[in-house]
A and B are shown apart, each in its own frame.
Chain A
Amino acid sequence: GAVVSQHPSWVICKSGTSVKIECRSLDFQATTMFWYRQFPKQSLMLMATSNEGSKATYEQGVEKDKFLINHASLTLSTLTVTSAHPEDSSFYICSLFSAGDGYTFGSGTRLTVV
């Protein structure tokens, strides 16, 4: 089935800096990938849909200027948290959809902003 690689698995950054998270599809050409955020003890919340070669589609309430998504190739989508603040600390997860396997999720990235 589809394999998703997410990197880094954890990152600590200073408040005001930007952090980039990568999501790679290792064996599937993904025209669409998805980004989620998960706070402790809570469920996954869909943030945005990443579309290869075009703009991402953001869910209501998600700041597109703060969470920059780039999907420049069929195997790579990136999420950049710009000017990060402590309230952006969370667990970020990406996924892709394939008709044969359904949704496959990355291993997640733990972001801590200090």
Chain B
Amino acid sequence: LAKTTQPISMDSYEGQEVNITCSHNNIATNDYITWYQQFPSQGPRFIIQGYKTKVTNEVASLFIPADRKSSTLSLPRVSLSDTAVYYCLVGDYTGGFKTIFGAGTRLFVKA
């Protein structure tokens, strides 16, 4: 199982772009990278998933370098409602894997 490392916390202001990087040095060939968002007293919610290069959806972008040993979640123009904990998970999505959550990154967006 690929272990992940993220910054414990980050602060930002409304309207700024926020980039959260996750390190996963022992990622396996079949592993995908998925990011989740969790608000207090709620379950994690899927944000974005990727395998390599860049993926973009309506809420975020995910940048994955060629060696895939890290990934960066990019949140454009954050708002107060983006204050949450963000987790990256790495694993083989073709067959399921045991979810080992790292500490996550606590993002605090200020006005």
Contact = CB atoms under 8 A, between A and B. Distances in A.
A101 interface: yes
B interface, by DSSP: helix, strand, loop or mixed?
loop
B94 A103 contact: no
Interface size for chain B: under 10, 10 to 19, 20 to 34, or 35 or more residues?
20 to 34
Contacts of B45: 105
Interface stretch (A14-22, A65-73, A79-87, A90-98): A90-98
B96 A32 contact: yes
A103 B42 contact: no
Nearest to A105: B43
A106 B38 CA distance: 11
B43 A106 contact: yes
B13 interface: no
Interface size for chain A: under 10, 10 to 19, 20 to 34, or 35 or more residues?
20 to 34
A105 B37 CA distance: 11
Contact of B41 (A43, A97, A103, A108): A108
A95 B100 CA distance: 13
Contact of B104 (A36, A43, A101): A43
Given A102-B46, A103-B89, 8 more contacts: A32-B96, A34-B99, A45-B101, A46-B98, A95-B43, A97-B96, A103-B34, A107-B42
Interface of B: 32, 34, 36, 41-46, 49, 87, 89, 93-96, 98-104
